[in-house]
Structure 1
Amino acid sequence: VAAHFQINFIIVMTMSRNFLIENCVFDQGDDAVVIKAGRNQDAWRLNTPCENIVIRHCDILKGHTLLGIGSEMSGGVRNVYMHNCTAPDSVFRLFFAKTNHRRGGFIENIWMKNVKAGKMQRVLEVDTDVLYQWRDLVPTYQDSITFINGLYMDSVTCDRTEAVYDLKGDARLPIKNVEIRNVTVGEVTKFVKNVVNAENVVEENIIYKEKQDKQ
């Protein structure tokens, strides 16, 4: 399946397979491409991952995230390849994988390559404790930790970011195998990296300038 659009919209994919998104323009003030695979028990029952997805030659003019995974991904998300895309103005994050201890499922083999962007809060972020308003509204009936393995970022440039990468795994099942290579940032305003509960994190050729406080 292929998608070609030149309108203001958001693509949300859930339990989809063998999908191509190309030559799209996003200007809608939320996440641009969001990969999902169901929530909790319903998704575990269906057991249908979202997989084999290519996103290429797309532009996000205004939005929250260029590529988002989750947080509804209990059926699993794997084999996603985004390349040759741009976010020239501003986003919150270029690549954001989000889940929580109720979701289960997996996130594996996700690639982002050859991306150019303006300013943002995070270039790459993984957060395993995203519950939003449901944290207090709905109790946790069953713990089910998400398996996260194989996140790859290569050849990314941006003008400014608060942080390059921020990995916040769950101690019960740490994030595994993250590679960040050839990332160039004009200015980092807060910190370069934060790594909690993550194993085999490889960084190579990350170039940045730290913010200079005015005297």
Structure 2
Amino acid sequence: MKRYIIVLVIFMITNIMSAQLDETAREKVMGEIINRIELPAIPDYTISIMQFNAKGDSLTDNKQAFDKAMQAIKENGGGTIVVPKGIYNINGPIHFVDNVNLKLEEGARLKFGSNPKDYPLVLTSWEGTMLYNYSPMIYGIDLENIAITGKGTIDGEAKNSWANWRELQEKDQLLSREMNHNNVPVEERIFGEGHYLRPQLIQFVNSRNILIEDVTIEDAPFWCLHLLKCSSATLRGLKYDAHNYNNDGIDLEYTRDILIENVKFDNGDDNLAIKAGRDHEGRSNADQASQNIVMRNCLLKGLHGVVIGSEMSAGVKNIFVDNCKAWGDLKRGIYFKTNPDRGGYMKDIYVSNIELGKVEDLFFITANYHGEGEGFNSKISDIYINNVTSEEATGTAIVIEGYEDSKVENVKLNNIHVKKASNAITIKNTENVVFEQVIIGEEAGVPTTATTEEVSKF
């Protein structure tokens, strides 16, 4: 009987871990995702923003010039708008049209105004709840073939304006959640004047074939770059200098088939945050899970490196993060977070070849984010972390915590080395967590031989 039990246990563990993709299979799946992603098809037609009386003098309001340029591109069926070197004040948003590349040449800087009256209400999402709020500085909805390229800078100019709204947002933040939980129709979720939800800097909604490449992103009011219900996007060569509250670098929500590569993050919150709606509304959109996302060859610096959640109620799956390195400190390197308000799931997550410096926690999975919520536990399973190093964890190197009735399952950590840690490991309410070649602190060597003096003590 004992032999039967042992054989059964071995069979179960082998069967569970066989679901893990080996390196060759991972490369194949990543390749399939990348090959599905289409770059935008932009017609061979180019205009300069200067043709519309724009002035890069840091004084003139260029809102009308950008609106006219977008209209001209629309009438032509698409093309490229070139923005030469200069500082372009824009009092209001740039709203994209189909088939357009906004090309910011080196030395070009877009500086957005901070008067809320200049930003009309648009359909957006705020912390996972769909609603109408002030337009992001750059915005597009229901589009195909859109690009922002070049060596220029997009500056939200929010540090001394929009950023101050964070201290005023709680009432509206709670109102948005109440509307979500009570199934208030989206068209009745009207924010804007008299409310204090900060807009994103760049947001595209329900759009596909997107390229954002090489630009620098600075001083966002809220999240820096938010793709909402989008597919087939390439985000590469971006640089960040954004340090206001909630300046996430990239937020992907209800979004699929995404490649993120060669990005240099330096922002005031999550570098990458993968989300999928919040609570009741998110769970009702279970067919819109965020999935098939590849992040590779990026430099990490900010609050947290790679994050899933906490708004992930429609589910997150098939995520691949490879060959990334910190170039500054992080609070948490790899952070998956949810709570019993969310429901949904996280599964089939692969993180490999990550090199971090000092962190508070290297790897943190929690089903109890903020210690709040009830009734809708999330399912967290099938997570594989391979080849990760950290110089120091000032908090706890590895934390995995589920619930007694909703355990975190099938997690494998292989070849992990944290050179120094205040605390090593906390694991609670889990099943089938496998550690292989995990070293926290100095690696143990051959056991020493007891001296005569030591023996005499016993």
TM-score, length-normalised on structure 2?
Answer: 0.43
Of 170, 184, 189, the match for 2:417: 184
d(CA) in 2 for partners of 1:143, 1:12: 26
d(CA) in 2 for partners of 1:73, 1:108: 12
Q: Which residue of 2 aligns with 1:95?
A: 334
Structure with greater proportional helix content: 2
Query: For 1:16-165, what aligned pairs fall within 5 Å after superposition?
Result: 16-47=255-286, 48-60=288-300, 62-131=301-370, 135=372, 143-161=375-393, 162-165=395-398
- 1:193 paired with 2:425, answer yes
d(CA) in 1 for partners of 2:279, 2:260: 27
**1:119 touches 1:158 (CA, 8 Å); kept in 2?**
yes
Cα shift readout 1:54-79 (whole Å, capped 9, x = no counterpart) = 0000001x311111000000000001
d(CA) in 2 for partners of 1:46, 1:202: 33
Of 173, 176, 184, the match for 2:406: 173
**2:254 touches 2:290 (CA, 8 Å); kept in 1?**
yes
Q: Which residue of 1 aligns with 2:34?
A: none
**1:163 touches 1:188 (CA, 8 Å); kept in 2?**
yes
Q: Which amino acid aligns with 2:402?
A: G
Q: Larger RCO: Structure 1 or Structure 2 (Cα < 8 Å, ≥ 6 residues apart)?
A: 1
**2:302 touches 2:328 (CA, 8 Å); kept in 1?**
no
Q: Which amino acid aligns with 2:397?
A: V
Alpha-carbon offset, residue 112 of structure 1: 0.9
Q: Which amino acid aligns with 1:182?
A: N
**1:88 touches 1:116 (CA, 8 Å); kept in 2?**
no
- 1:207 paired with 2:439, answer yes
**2:342 touches 2:378 (CA, 8 Å); kept in 1?**
yes
Alpha-carbon offset, residue 6 of structure 1: 2.6
SS in 2 for 1:193: strand
Alpha-carbon offset, residue 4 of structure 1: 0.8
SS in 2 for 1:119: strand
**1:111 touches 1:152 (CA, 8 Å); kept in 2?**
yes
Alpha-carbon offset, residue 52 of structure 1: 0.5
Structure 2: runs of 5 or more not aligned: 1-232, 243-248, 443-458
Structure 1: runs of 5 or more not aligned: 211-215
**1:64 touches 1:91 (CA, 8 Å); kept in 2?**
yes
d(CA) in 2 for partners of 1:41, 1:119: 37
Larger radius of gyration: 2
Q: 1:69 to 1:179 in 2, by over 3 A?
A: same
d(CA) in 2 for partners of 1:11, 1:24: 10
Aligned length: 201
SS in 2 for 1:25: coil
SS in 2 for 1:13: strand
Q: Which amino acid aligns with 2:255?
A: S
Q: Which amino acid aligns with 2:238?
A: Q
Cα shift readout 1:21-52 (whole Å, capped 9, x = no counterpart) = 00101101211000000001111222210001
**1:13 touches 1:34 (CA, 8 Å); kept in 2?**
yes
TM-score, length-normalised on structure 1?
Answer: 0.89
Cα shift readout 1:148-179 (whole Å, capped 9, x = no counterpart) = 11111110111101322101101111000111
Q: Which residue of 2 aligns with 1:5?
A: 237
Q: What fraction of aligned residue pairs are identical, expressed as a percent?
A: 31
